[in-house]
Amino acid sequence: MAKTHEYEVVIIGAGPAGMTAGMYAGRAMLRAVVLERGAPGGELLNTEIIEDYPGFEHIEGWDLAQKFDAHARKFGAEVHTATVERVRKVEDGWFETVTDAGDTYRSPTVILTAGGTPVKLGVPGELEYAGKGVSYCAICDGAFFKGHRIAVVGGGDAAVEEADFLTRYAEKVYLVHRRDQLRASKILQKRVFENPKIEIIWNTVVDRVEGDAQGLVKALHLRDVVTDTTSVLAATGLFVFIGFRPNTGIVEGHVRHDEGGYLVTDSNMETSMRGLFAAGDVRAQLARQVTTAVGDATTAAIAAEKYLTALKNGQYDPQLLSSGGYAV
């Protein structure tokens, strides 16, 4: 039976941003709940090794996710397994967060930390062979390709890092990139350039994924974007890392966003919809790292606490909030 719950803060997503927001909300003694459709951790669960989080020179993504989860729960954050279908602001000024089970979570504030969904290539055969050679998670599926010749599409940090990771399983990894230079950080580029099992195919896109009689990927049809010539690459795996689409579509009503769909916030992480805060990968910003997600969420949770106090006192004013005029 569907239920209605009331909290002061509802946090959507349990990645680094969501668990940090939960921890700070718990420390502030707020009635807060973190809603997550899967295991807490977000993209940490798809990352083998983290080397750029201060205090941890080298830690597995799963281990760091567990530490985030335990820390948030220690300070009283509730974590519920639930898939959020929509968030809407109703006439009384509160938010209603509705799950696929029909449960409604009512709250005066929401912190959206829902991350993103991998962007698809949108080419013939991609969806048909998803899970049959086409993947969007190297850690999840890399072990299935021991001794194979596979391709990675993309040129950013994720693509380059995952291409390097996949060489521990694959015999050969082709990094297919539509430009003539990578966008990844220099240290990651260096690893790829020095890895003898990686070959970069420049100025090229995948036009079609071809399968065999068993329904598995056997080849990729490529096209050079400069010469428009085509070729066929024998490969039994295709890993796509061309970006993420922010999971902001669950919010009903207009909220200011950039052309990529990322939410625009002020310095308090508050969106154009009063009481709705955003942190991590859903927010428009230069970098999307664990460190930035944690920083965003810290600000969002503290700002939400001040917002709630101001509402109770009938003194809400965004300018005072930004200047620290609301003592909590």
Domains in the chain: ranges and CATH: 4-118+244-323 (3.50.50.60), 134-240 (3.50.50.60)
Q: What is the pLDDT of residue 35?
A: 98
Mean pLDDT, residues 204-224: 97
Are 175 and 149 in contact by the 8 Å Cβ rule? The answer is: no
Catalytic residue among 141, 157, 164, 281: 141
Render pLDDT for 9-31 as a digit per residue (tens, 0 to 9).
Answer: 999 999 999 999 999 999 999 99
Contacts of 311 (CB under 8 A, 6+ apart): 108
Render pLDDT for 250-294 as a digit per residue (tens, 0 to 9).
Answer: 999 999 999 989 999 999 999 999 999 999 999 999 888 899 999
Q: What is the pLDDT of residue 326?
A: 38
Mean pLDDT, residues 141-156: 96
Are 282 and 262 in contact by the 8 Å Cβ rule? The answer is: yes
DSSP per residue over 184-217, as a string?
A: S-HHHHHHHHH-TTEEEE-SEEEEEEEE-TTS-E
Higher pLDDT, 321 or 108: 108
Q: What is the pLDDT of residue 321?
A: 46
Catalytic residue among 52, 63, 103, 137: 137
Long-range contact list for 191-194, CB < 8 A, 24+ apart?
191/160, 191/164, 192/160, 192/163, 192/164
Q: What is the pLDDT of residue 205?
A: 98
- Written as one letter, the residue type at 144 is F
Q: What is the pLDDT of residue 47?
A: 81
Say whether pLDDT at 325 is over 60: no
Are 276 and 110 in contact by the 8 Å Cβ rule? The answer is: yes
Say whether pLDDT at 327 is over 60: no
Are 269 and 278 in contact by the 8 Å Cβ rule? The answer is: yes
Mean pLDDT, residues 211-239: 97
Contacts of 55 (CB under 8 A, 6+ apart): none
* Cα–Cα distance, 103 to 82 (Å, whole number): 9
Catalytic residue among 140, 180, 212, 317: 140
Q: Is 296 a catalytic residue?
A: no
Mean pLDDT, residues 202-206: 98
Chain centre distance of CA 326: 32
* Cα–Cα distance, 304 to 267 (Å, whole number): 12
Q: Is 141 a catalytic residue?
A: yes
Going from the C-alpha of 149 to that of each of 131, 133, 142, 199, 289, the distances in angstroms are 16, 11, 12, 11, 30
Q: What is the pLDDT of residue 319?
A: 53
Q: What is the pLDDT of residue 314?
A: 78
Q: What share of the chain has pLDDT > 70, as a percent?
A: 96
Higher pLDDT, 38 or 323: 38
Say whether pLDDT at 296 is over 70: yes
Q: Which two tokens stand for residue 275?
A: 């009481």
Mean model confidence pLDDT for the chain: 93
* Cα–Cα distance, 282 to 300 (Å, whole number): 13
Contacts of 300 (CB under 8 A, 6+ apart): 17, 21, 111, 113, 268, 269, 270, 277, 278, 279
Which sign does the torsion angle of CA 174, 178, 184, 190 carry?
Answer: positive
Mean pLDDT, residues 104-120: 95
Bridge pairing between strands 276-278 and 244-246: unpaired
Going from the C-alpha of 315 to that of each of 188, 303, 307, the distances in angstroms are 49, 14, 9
Are 89 and 104 in contact by the 8 Å Cβ rule? The answer is: no
Q: Is 69 a catalytic residue?
A: no
Q: What is the pLDDT of residue 318?
A: 53
CA dihedral 124, 125, 127, 130 (to 10 degrees): -150
Task: Could you list the beta-strand ranges (E) of 62-115.
Answer: 78-81, 84-89, 95-99, 104-107, 109-112
Mean pLDDT, residues 107-123: 95
Q: What is the pLDDT of residue 49?
A: 83
Q: What is the pLDDT of residue 317?
A: 59
